[in-house]
Homo-oligomer: A and B are copies of this chain.
Amino acid sequence: MSTNQIFIVDDDDAIRDALGWLFRSRGHVARLWSSAEALIAGGEIGRCGCLLLDIRMDGMSGLELFEWLREKGHDVPVIFLTGHGDVPMAVAALKKGAFDFVEKPFNDNELVDRALAALDIHHQRSSRQAAAREVDERLAHLTSRELEVMERVLAGQMNKVIAMDLGVTMRTVEVHRARIFEKMGVRSAVELAQLLTARTPKPQ
C-alpha cells in the first residue's frame, strides 16, 4: 500500500512547515497543503493515510473539510489541530468520528505517536474496506434473478422450496446457485454466508 502518507493542512506557513519537518525528520512521508480547497483540488486524497487538519482556516474550515470527506465516502482518520479549541468543539469533533483532537502548542512526540496510531487504524480499515469492495464488486455481477435465489439460499431454504417460491424448477435454482457460487468465488453456501455476514456495516 502507498497510503501511509501523512497529509497536513494548515494555512499557517510556519506551523505547516514545522509539521512537515517534524514528520519527515522521523522518516515519514508528509504532504503539505495550505488550504482545504487546495487539498481537494489536488485530487490525491486517495493516497492519504492520515490527515492533520487545522480547524480554523480561511475559506473552508477543517471541520467543513472533514464533513466533505465523510460525504464523499473517504474515511481517513483525521487529527484536528487547534489553537483556540474548547471542550464542546473537541467533543463534537470526536463524536462525529474524528480520530483525535490536539491543541496547539502540541508535544512533538505525542503528536507523532497519535499520527502513527491513526495510520495504523487506517491500514486496518482499508484492508477491511478492500475486502468489502471486493465483495460488492462481485455482487454487482449477479443478475437480479441470482440475487433473489441468493437471498433465499442465505435464508437456509432448500432448492426445492426456493423453486416453489419463485415458481420455477429445481433445476433452474441449481443453475442459479452454481453461478452464484462461481461469481462470488465461494464453494459452498457456508462460505457465502460468511462473506456476506462479515460485510455488514459495523455500528458504533
A residues neighboring B (CB under 8 Å) = 85-88, 90-91, 94-95, 100-103, 121, 124, 128, 153-154, 156, 186-194, 197-198, 200, 202-204
Q: Report Cα–Cα, A121/B154, bound state, in Å.
A: 28
13 pairs, A vs B, C-beta closer than 8 Å? A86-B87, A87-B103, A91-B100, A91-B101, A95-B100, A121-B204, A124-B204, A154-B190, A190-B192, A193-B193, A193-B197, A202-B202, A202-B203
Most buried by B among A191, A192, A197: A197
B residues in contact with A204, CB < 8 Å = 121, 124
Q: How far is the CB of A148 from chain B (nearest CB, A)?
A: 16
Nearest CB in chain B to that of A99: its residue: B95
- Known A94-B91, A101-B87; contact A190-B156, beta-carbon cutoff 8 A: yes
B residues in contact with A90, CB < 8 Å = 87, 90-91, 94
16 additional A-B pairs beyond A154-B194, A156-B190, A190-B192, beta carbons within 8 Å, are A87-B90, A87-B101, A87-B103, A90-B90, A90-B94, A91-B101, A91-B102, A156-B186, A188-B189, A189-B190, A193-B193, A193-B194, A193-B197, A197-B197, A197-B198, A202-B202
- Known A87-B101, A103-B87; contact A156-B202, beta-carbon cutoff 8 A: no
Q: Report Cα–Cα, A86/B189, bound state, in Å.
A: 53
In the complex, the answer to whether B88 meets A103 with C-beta atoms within 8 Å is yes
Nearest CB in chain B to that of A124: its residue: B203
B residues in contact with A198, CB < 8 Å = 197, 200
B residues in contact with A88, CB < 8 Å = 103
Q: Report Cα–Cα, A86/B100, bound state, in Å.
A: 14
In the complex, the answer to whether B87 meets A153 with C-beta atoms within 8 Å is no
Q: How far is the CB of A113 from chain B (nearest CB, A)?
A: 13
